[in-house]
Structure 1
Amino acid sequence: MTRLGAVFRPQLPPERLRAVARAADDAGLEELWLWEDCFREGGIATAAAALAWTERVRVGVGLLPVPLRNAALTAMEAASLHRMFPGRASLVLGHGVQDWMAQVGVRAASPLTLLGEHLDALRALLRGERLTVRGRYVTLDDVGLDWPPGETAAAAVLAGATGPRTLRLSGARADGTLLTSATTPDGVRRARQLIDEGRREAGRTEPHPVVVYLLAATGPDAEARLRAELAAEGQESVPDLGVAGDAAAVAGAVRRLVEAGADTVVLQPTGDEPDPEGFVRFTAEEVRPLVP
């Protein structure tokens, strides 16, 4: 079955998260996704708070920029979330926006190498392994977690990817892939092909879920808000990108992404969404029944 979620955008102040998370939980939303955008809100802090305020909704962080993080610290924080909230946390690693990484002095000469090393280390540590690593970016000396997730949770580690090399890397070295809202149905198909190339090269045969953000707007001014956001991102001329309209229109766009290869579709409201609580209720109560 297709999983459906919604994004709490960090353009909202952190104190709004509690009401949105509780609205999502009460409405039966399956997944609530958070961002660690510079220089707004930290992904782990907001995820822990959202999980503590709710009972059932799964909380994803898409994504954690690895240049900002030590692999051991990422593992410690991820393991804590997985043990405290079994089966309810999803974490995604990514390159981060390179201009932002440069602003804080951590831009890597080879973002692909850094992401691959961080993925390998994090996945091994969460499995309970002890590591000694001398990589280009990740260095660990006999490091193991005292409290790995073990059998208490499915501690999958996803990668955020857009370019061909990163998509292949995700297929080879991550447990799933997150695609941005700039991904059309055709883009999902191409991404699946590249991910599968990486999986074959690495000899991986287990399922590899693909999560896709879908920019969506509803309400009287939905079309105008959607077009304004696409224009601000320089994407107004891209066909089949984003959706504005009622639940039937949004569900149709979700289905097109699923038919292209998405396993989970996460509705991303516009940055000026006037009713974030209403948006998560709309996703859960109106769109969800129309999606298989």
Structure 2
Amino acid sequence: MVSLGVVFRPQLPPERLRSVARAAEEAGLEQLWLWEDCFLESGIAAASAALAWTERLRVGVGLLPVPLRNVALTAMEAATVHRMFPGRAVLAVGHGVQDWMGQVGVRAESPLTLLREYTDALRGLLRGERLTVDGRYVRLDGVALGWPPPQVPAVLGGASGPRSLRLVAEAADGAVLTAGTSPEAVRRMRRLLDETPPPEGGGGRRELVVYLHTATGATGPGADARMRAELEAFGDTPDTAATGDAATVAAAVERLAEAGADTVVLQPAADEPDVEGFIRFAAREVRPLVG
């Protein structure tokens, strides 16, 4: 059965997160996702707060931009979160938006090399290994976590281009695909994950998470207009979005699930007027219609 989530867009002020997380928990939503977009909100800080305010909700961060973060720091933060909230956090890493990385002076000449080195090192540290690495970007000298997670967590990778997607399939425990991804593209990524040998220490079915542009008239007027603006901003097409009632949204979720998605995360517009209402719509109206 596909898992259903909603993303808390970082265009909302951080102080709104508590209300949204509580609404998700109370409505029975399975997952709440967060973004670490520059220069809006921290992914780890927000995830820790959302996890602390809830008891059951699974909280994902998709994604953490690797040029912005030393891998040892990310490993420390990830291990802390996984130990405090076992089985409830999902973390994904990726290139980050290159223009943003340039703004803070960390843009990599080879983002693919950085992501490969970083993912390998992060997974090793979370497995409790002591690492010495002398890579092009990642350098560690006998580094090991003092408090690695008792259960080794999955590290997902986010990407969009074909070379990056192949790298994620080779190096990560699963993948996160952006909104605007068609069912056929999801199907190709599912095949790639299934046909590519898992990285060291990995095994079993690797999770595939897909965002879905979503707007519904149930949370206020102007759903069509909000979605048109959203698609224009992302450069995506209407056939990769769901606008309408619960049946319309559920059908779009089902198409992605049939293509191989394990989790579909509904992505409301940045100016969604009632995020708590959107979450209740997802949990109470869409979820019952999704197999």
Shorter-chain TM range is over 0.9
Hey, what does 2:256 align to over in structure 1?
Answer: 257
3-state secondary structure, aligned to 1:12: coil
Structure 2 distance, partners of 1:84, 1:98, is 32
Q: Is the 8 A contact 2:174 2:193 kept in 1?
A: no
Hey, what does 1:192 align to over in structure 2?
Answer: 190
Structure 2 distance, partners of 1:140, 1:234, is 39
Structure 2 distance, partners of 1:117, 1:48, is 26
CA distances 1:73-113 after superposition (whole Å, capped 9, x unpaired):
00000000000000000000000000110011000011011
Identity over the aligned pairs, expressed in percent?
70
User: Runs of 5+ in structure 1 lacking a partner?
Assistant: none
Superposed displacement of residue 233, structure 1? 2.4
Hey, what does 2:209 align to over in structure 1?
Answer: 211
Runs of at least 4 residues off by over 4 Å: 200-205
3-state secondary structure, aligned to 2:44: helix
3-state secondary structure, aligned to 1:211: strand
Q: Is the 8 A contact 2:173 2:198 kept in 1?
A: no
CA distances 1:256-286 after superposition (whole Å, capped 9, x unpaired):
0011111100000011100011111111111
1:31-110 matches, within 5 Å, as 31-110=31-110
Residue 279, structure 1, aligned to residue 278, structure 2: yes
Structure 2 distance, partners of 1:113, 1:198, is 19
Hey, what does 2:22 align to over in structure 1?
Answer: 22
CA distances 1:18-76 after superposition (whole Å, capped 9, x unpaired):
00000001111100000000110010010111111111100000000000011110000
Inter-CA distance 53–203: structure 2 relative to 1 (3 Å threshold): closer
1:174 corresponds to which of 163, 172, 195:
172
CA distances 1:162-209 after superposition (whole Å, capped 9, x unpaired):
111111111111000000002011111222234345437989752111
Structure 2 distance, partners of 1:63, 1:98, is 14
Hey, what does 1:267 align to over in structure 2?
Answer: 266
Q: Is the 8 A contact 1:168 1:199 kept in 2?
A: no
User: Which residue identity does 2:215 align to in structure 1?
Assistant: A
Hey, what does 2:244 align to over in structure 1?
Answer: 245
TM-score by length of 2: 0.95
Inter-CA distance 119–61: structure 2 relative to 1 (3 Å threshold): same
Q: Is the 8 A contact 1:171 1:208 kept in 2?
A: no
TM-score by length of 1: 0.95
3-state secondary structure, aligned to 1:40: coil
Hey, what does 1:143 align to over in structure 2?
Answer: 143
Residue 116, structure 1, aligned to residue 149, structure 2: no
Inter-CA distance 121–201: structure 2 relative to 1 (3 Å threshold): closer
User: Runs of 5+ in structure 2 lacking a partner?
Assistant: none
Structure 1 distance, partners of 2:244, 2:16, is 25
Structure 2 distance, partners of 1:202, 1:164, is 22
